[in-house]
Structure 1
């Protein structure tokens, strides 16, 4: 758990390693995250980071992150589904979801990162303005807020430009307007 989770995320070992490697140019082996992963493997853990079970696996995973970083630098952050051929996009939906950046939404609209930490951290390191995310679970209280907004009520929350309200804004701008007379 200490490898991947921190609040705020900028204090986490994985985030710091990605930032340190890609921004500061520090070799992976000199980051505290990789040192800790290697310590866990040396202590006899079977697998530690994305099923890494050896030093070679760990540095292969680092090379894979470098490939993803280069791709994101060139093309931005694409959803995993966008990277697949169209015929494969609907197949094995749940398997593809594990590669997406997935967020849940808390009671007051806070975005809670569920999966896709590596890609999210890379996108932040690159300073990307927008990234595709998949909303998985919405808190019941947030759903009440969404319903209120959909019915034209003004919520008592600071939610301007909330990414989970864009669909309501789009339907609001197209509903209730008559065409030209």
Structure 2
């Protein structure tokens, strides 16, 4: 059943991406500008969206417009990200991965017979995953933060598989509140790295926009990205 839902969900996303890239989407009052990608100030992404399990619908909800109080979240990203805390332990305090909070909790889950996302089923898999993140962190530190088409999806640890048709839109995902604030949805590793390394701006993809924001015809405060990298031009977002 789960596999069937995943196939149906991917089919819908593929259709949306193709229609979006061809400029054939008919925007309605409940659906607008999916897969909008642009540059946002890293410091402006402070809070986590209040929608239920938004990471599960990070693709299928693209372009939707929703009302409600999900945009009134008071959860700060830096206070509610176990990985952010663990990256500080690793990169600023010099701790071994095995001593970090994120590693310990996941290792315990594996020892109790659980399996982590990305099919990490052993301590060795988990350690490989973390060491892969070391490489991503060092690459950003030494070469700057790049958009997905420049790195061909290599900004995800080895345990995660990104389907090719999603790759050029696989940036940090954010929702847009009624006041135009960008609320974190997905891409916690990259956002954490950007904050720790003081990256001024990063590429983001918008997922859900609050209906009051759309009703007031406000513009999202992100900058267009050059079309040469395969992203859509964003003349007025």
Choose from 131, 140, 145 the match for 1:72: 140
> For the residues of structure 1 that align with 2:130 and 2:101, how far apart are their CA atoms?
14
Higher relative contact order (CA 8 A, sep 6+): 2
> For the residues of structure 1 that align with 2:176 and 2:119, how far apart are their CA atoms?
28
Query: Conserved in 1, the CA contact under 8 Å of 2:152 and 2:167?
Result: no
More strand by share: 2
> For the residues of structure 1 that align with 2:181 and 2:218, how far apart are their CA atoms?
17
> For the residues of structure 2 that align with 1:51 and 1:30, how far apart are their CA atoms?
22
Give the superposed CA RMSD.
Answer: 2.7
Matched, 1:135 2:206: yes
Query: Conserved in 2, the CA contact under 8 Å of 1:107 and 1:141?
Result: yes
Query: Conserved in 2, the CA contact under 8 Å of 1:21 and 1:27?
Result: yes
TM value normalised by structure 1: 0.69
Matched, 1:38 2:107: yes
SS at match of 1:132: strand
In the other structure, the counterpart of 1:123 is 194
In the other structure, the counterpart of 2:121 is 53
More helix by share: 1
Counting matched residue pairs gives 145
In the other structure, the counterpart of 2:86 is 17
Unaligned segments of structure 1, at least 5 residues: 86-90, 150-161, 173-181
Distance 1:108 1:63, change over 3 A: same
In the other structure, the counterpart of 1:93 is 165
TM value normalised by structure 2: 0.54
